Amino acid sequence: MRKAFSFILVALFVLLLAGCAPGPNTAMSTPVPNGEAGFLLGLWHGLIVWVTFIVSLFNDQVSIYEVHNNGGWYNFGYILGLGSALGGTATASSRSNKD
Protein backbone atom coordinates (compact mmCIF):
# COMPACT_ATOMS: atom_id res chain seq x y z
CA MET A 1 0.00 0.00 0.00
CA ARG A 2 2.85 2.37 0.85
CA LYS A 3 4.53 1.79 -2.54
CA ALA A 4 1.29 2.56 -4.37
CA PHE A 5 0.84 5.77 -2.39
CA SER A 6 4.43 6.82 -3.10
CA PHE A 7 4.00 6.10 -6.81
CA ILE A 8 0.77 8.12 -6.98
CA LEU A 9 2.38 10.99 -5.09
CA VAL A 10 5.39 11.07 -7.45
CA ALA A 11 3.11 10.82 -10.51
CA LEU A 12 1.00 13.76 -9.28
CA PHE A 13 4.14 15.79 -8.60
CA VAL A 14 5.44 15.11 -12.13
CA LEU A 15 2.09 16.10 -13.63
CA LEU A 16 2.07 19.27 -11.55
CA LEU A 17 5.53 20.21 -12.80
CA ALA A 18 4.60 19.37 -16.40
CA GLY A 19 1.59 21.66 -16.13
CA CYS A 20 3.89 24.56 -15.25
CA ALA A 21 5.99 24.21 -18.40
CA PRO A 22 5.79 27.33 -20.56
CA GLY A 23 4.26 27.21 -24.00
CA PRO A 24 5.42 28.97 -27.14
CA ASN A 25 5.36 32.75 -27.24
CA THR A 26 3.05 33.31 -30.21
CA ALA A 27 3.12 37.08 -29.72
CA MET A 28 6.92 37.30 -29.96
CA SER A 29 7.09 37.96 -33.69
CA THR A 30 3.96 40.10 -34.00
CA PRO A 31 4.61 43.76 -34.78
CA VAL A 32 4.01 46.29 -32.02
CA PRO A 33 3.98 50.10 -32.33
CA ASN A 34 6.81 50.75 -29.83
CA GLY A 35 9.02 47.84 -30.89
CA GLU A 36 10.04 44.78 -28.93
CA ALA A 37 11.19 45.02 -25.33
CA GLY A 38 14.93 44.53 -24.92
CA PHE A 39 17.46 44.22 -22.11
CA LEU A 40 16.74 47.54 -20.37
CA LEU A 41 12.98 47.04 -20.34
CA GLY A 42 13.52 43.50 -19.06
CA LEU A 43 15.69 44.85 -16.26
CA TRP A 44 13.07 47.48 -15.41
CA HIS A 45 10.21 44.95 -15.48
CA GLY A 46 12.18 42.69 -13.15
CA LEU A 47 12.86 45.53 -10.73
CA ILE A 48 9.20 46.59 -10.50
CA VAL A 49 7.83 43.05 -10.32
CA TRP A 50 6.22 43.56 -6.88
CA VAL A 51 4.28 46.64 -7.95
CA THR A 52 3.28 45.03 -11.24
CA PHE A 53 2.14 41.86 -9.49
CA ILE A 54 -0.11 43.76 -7.09
CA VAL A 55 -1.62 45.81 -9.93
CA SER A 56 -2.14 42.63 -11.99
CA LEU A 57 -4.30 41.19 -9.22
CA PHE A 58 -6.85 43.94 -9.80
CA ASN A 59 -6.40 44.67 -13.52
CA ASP A 60 -6.50 41.91 -16.15
CA GLN A 61 -4.78 44.16 -18.71
CA VAL A 62 -1.51 44.17 -16.72
CA SER A 63 0.90 41.23 -16.70
CA ILE A 64 4.26 40.86 -14.99
CA TYR A 65 6.09 39.77 -18.17
CA GLU A 66 6.21 41.52 -21.56
CA VAL A 67 5.40 38.99 -24.27
CA HIS A 68 6.55 41.31 -27.07
CA ASN A 69 10.25 40.89 -26.31
CA ASN A 70 13.41 40.17 -28.25
CA GLY A 71 14.11 36.86 -26.52
CA GLY A 72 17.34 36.19 -24.67
CA TRP A 73 18.36 39.76 -23.85
CA TYR A 74 14.95 40.63 -22.40
CA ASN A 75 14.97 37.42 -20.36
CA PHE A 76 18.51 38.16 -19.09
CA GLY A 77 17.52 41.66 -17.99
CA TYR A 78 14.33 40.34 -16.41
CA ILE A 79 16.24 37.73 -14.39
CA LEU A 80 18.78 40.35 -13.22
CA GLY A 81 15.94 42.66 -12.19
CA LEU A 82 14.13 39.86 -10.40
CA GLY A 83 17.30 38.98 -8.51
CA SER A 84 17.65 42.58 -7.38
CA ALA A 85 13.98 43.02 -6.50
CA LEU A 86 13.64 39.71 -4.68
CA GLY A 87 16.94 39.94 -2.81
CA GLY A 88 18.85 37.28 -4.70
CA THR A 89 20.77 34.52 -2.95
CA ALA A 90 23.68 36.61 -1.68
CA THR A 91 21.67 37.97 1.24
CA ALA A 92 20.63 34.54 2.47
CA SER A 93 24.11 33.06 2.17
CA SER A 94 25.75 35.97 3.99
CA ARG A 95 23.32 35.56 6.90
CA SER A 96 24.03 31.85 7.23
CA ASN A 97 27.80 32.42 7.25
CA LYS A 98 27.57 34.80 10.22
CA ASP A 99 25.92 32.21 12.47
Per-residue pLDDT of 47-68, as tens digits, reads 888 888 888 888 878 888 888 8
Residue 66 neighbours by CB under 8 Å, 6+ apart: 37, 41, 42, 45, 74
How many helices (H) and strands (E) would you count in the chain? 5, 0
How much is the pLDDT for 19?
Answer: 61
Q: What average pLDDT does range 81-96 have in this prediction?
A: 70
